[in-house]
Structure 1
């Protein structure tokens, strides 16, 4: 069965084209906004080759594909005839979305496509930061400066990347969105903020335009493009057709640019600082407690597709603090899932089951845990409990010893070099501890469960906890 045939089946079993309001994807999932969620045939969807599972998250329906989801999405776009940049008016159901649903939709839709760029640059940046911390290299050499350009360019100009992705999510003109980012990143604004001599420009000597360094910021440009999407629709609606070509972009850019500089940009800055303060306060109260909280919620957040909600928080930490302690805990959670799934390999009875578990473990080591979660741990449910316990213990441990990263990276085995530095030993101990605990607990819990039931074969196949 080729990809097109699989997509045709997916479309059919989410209720058909007429039931799909919107569709996008993150790193591992096709995400749908359906008119009627009850029309989704979950049983049939799970039987499609290549589909690892499904998940409902508020008003969002997710079909878990794993690695290669972008190829599925390309076919899906062709089949649905989606114009990712076409402006559309929100209907009543869209307007009724609660804040959590809106936030999840926005985060998954914007940050999913950006992961390759920020992960690749973050890997280089994290590795260089670790080598500097160890004294292996210095940050004054030309070699370092060149490599730093490779690593830091994405983060310094992150608003441009976010603007382009947000334009697709909000279905507005991508180039006008990038223009909004260019306003925030214009050298006059950045250099004035860095100089710190004035707090605001004044239009006509009366209206203050707050001065901030928006380099590497996340929330302001999202708010700016969100505002642009509505302003663009409004302007396009009131301008006569004969004048649209010139007048619409002119008025849109002028109004949305001022709206961003005067209102949503500063609000976004303060929101970002507020989020960083909340997370920082939790670490100040107790790094161990912070680890416990993060370790407990991370596996479940992946299961329901909310894990991308932590991406903007980590990016804000890098922008404001220069480092982040959440991403090491994300890696710990991934390892806990890998360890628990690996133990289930010894419970599988058929070569096919062993192959599924083995491939999911390999995928988890490479940073994609959905196959292990949906292909293994939703079946062996006590294995999921073991993974969560190990995630809590491992995250509490590395939180206690202050393990941190200096650049955004994916949570995979390839990210290990980025941890090189003063905290590497504690990170390594945390990794080993997590794998051992998750594997051991998963193996023991599943074995005890099997022995408690006379029909062990049935329990093994269905793992009714």
Structure 2
């Protein structure tokens, strides 16, 4: 695939660089905020080689590309920023899009670059746990220690990584932002807590400081860099060029590190814990209902492009508690999509739709990417979409009933099964049963709802 040519064709069809007010990408989509969407012909965009589908949701014009979207984005970014007519503020949200849409867009941009690292580390963590349980690896060995560090480093240093990606989104210096994030997990700062831990106090210029352990946290650093972006832009505008090299980082660090540990950090920790506790409370009160809603409704969120709002909660649960109840429900959705695709494959006679279905099965089983099948076949057929929703809901209900968890934040596929390995052997068994239920129920319904003359619309 020639991504430079593809980027040129997309840019031409969406009205050129002058029609783009904001751009970012997530795991599979190029997300554009267009000044005037009426001038864009969706069919022409869909016909561009490499574009799977187009979705206009959450205040964005979203082009479904697949897992290679970062390569396309790099070429697209060069074209847009190289156009003198362009006035794109990649890291600034458009007020006209609304607060909720801006939040979804920001979350997508912040977490998308980290998803491969999070997913890979999660699978490695599951494999390490599995090897220990099978007696292949001793927890006292150096091999275990090294592999354990390799699998958990991305979570420990989340404040640094999120600081960098947040800075790119909000328009601040990524490197100064990384320093702010790193300061929160500096050994001397952590040592201030002594044996007390979270809630210990110290002071800064006689101002009381409530100390927190910020390693593996999500919300505090994002709020901090969002606030820092305003300071950075103010300094960049008012400090003379010959002084920027020293003055901007000096003032930024002197102001933001204390401000973060005194005000923003504790607010972020408590607010993040509150949201996670509310979600977990709902799961504990009615895990079956939660499984039905998330397992059945996750594909709806994906189709709208707003599933990113839930990802930070799952990541926070993994970082804080070492496990999460929500991730298994997303597995149920993915395996329901696989089941529906199987149902179509075994019922339809048309070679094109059968080939598309089988490709979808393989793609999801190996990479957990459901969008091509979702948009290419299910969204266009309400009965098949319903089959997938029912299958995901039934499987999710079982997973909720059995309190199945994952020990890592991963995407639902066969390759990420190790995430279900935990201290409770039954957790993996119940996970496999729940996913089998999702697959079988949706496959049966997909078979029933598919006519032999079914075509790929």
Change (3 A) 1:47 1:341: same
Aligned to 1:365: 365
Query: Structure 2: how far apart are the matches of 1:204 and 1:78?
Result: 46
Tell me if the contact between 1:194 and 1:213 (Cα under 8 Å) persists in the aligned partners.
no
Partner of 2:111: 111
C-alpha contact 1:129 1:406 (8 A) present in aligned 2 = no
Counterparts of 2:243 and 2:328, CA distance in 1: 53
Determine the structure 2 residue equivalent to 1:403.
404
Deviation at 1:461, TM superposition (A): 5.1
* 2:343 match: secondary structure: helix
Aligned pairs (5 A) from 1:317-332: 317-332=317-332
**What is the aligned partner in structure 2 of residue 155 from structure 1?**
155
Aligned pair in 2 of structure 1 residues 305, 234: CA closer, same or farther (>3 Å)?
same
Of 25-34 and 304-313, more deviation after overlay is shown by: 304-313
The alpha carbon displacement at 1:363 in A equals: 1.0
Query: Which deviates the most, 195-204 or 285-294?
Result: 195-204
Q: 1:426 Cα shift?
A: 0.6
Larger deviation: 136-145 or 305-314?
136-145
Tell me the residue number matched to 1:453: none
What are structure 1's unaligned runs of at least 5 residues? Answer: 451-456
Cα distance in 1 for partners of 2:241, 2:73 equals: 34
Deviation string for 1:358-402 (max 9, x for gaps)?
222211112111111011112333111111111111111011101
Higher mean displacement: 237-246 or 276-285: 237-246
Contact 2:21 2:89 (C-alpha < 8 Å) held by counterparts: no
Distance 2:195 2:34 in 1: 49
Q: 2:21, 2:94 within 8 Å by CA — same for their partners in 1?
A: no
- Work out whether 1:56 is the aligned partner of 2:56: yes
Cα shift readout 1:236-269 (whole Å, capped 9, x = no counterpart): 2222333222112211222222322222211110
Equivalent-residue separation in structure 2 for 1:287 and 1:384 (angstroms): 24
What is aligned with 1:271? 271
Counterpart of 2:433?
429
Map 1:245-264 → 2, pairs under 5 A: 245-264=245-264
Aligned CA distance change for structure 1 residues 274 and 261 (closer, same or farther; 3 Å): same
Contact 2:190 2:213 in 1 (8 A): yes
Conserved in 1, the CA contact under 8 Å of 2:20 and 2:88? no
Give the match for residue 336 of structure 1: 336
TM-score (norm 1): 0.90
Alignment correspondent of 2:445: 441
The 8 Å contact of residues 15 and 40 in structure 1, kept in 2 or not, is answered as yes
Offset, 1:131: 5.0
SS in 2 for 1:215: coil
* Alpha carbons 2:350, 2:455 under 8 Å: kept: no
1:76 corresponding residue in structure 2: 76
- Mean alpha-carbon deviation: is it higher for 95-104 or for 62-71? 95-104
Name the CA distance, whole Å, in 2 between partners of 1:139 and 1:375: 46
| d(CA) in 1 for partners of 2:261, 2:159 | 14
1:422 aligned counterpart, secondary structure: helix
Q: Give deviations 1:206-238, integer Å, cap 9, x for gaps.
A: x12220000001111111111111110112222
Cα 1:295–1:410 change in 2 (3 A) is: closer
Q: String of CA shifts for 1:183-217, please: whole Å, max 9, x gaps.
A: 21111232334621662221122x12220000001
Q: Which residue of 2 aligns with 1:102?
A: 102
Q: Which runs of 5+ in 2 are unaligned?
A: none
Normalising by structure 2, we get a TM-score of 0.92
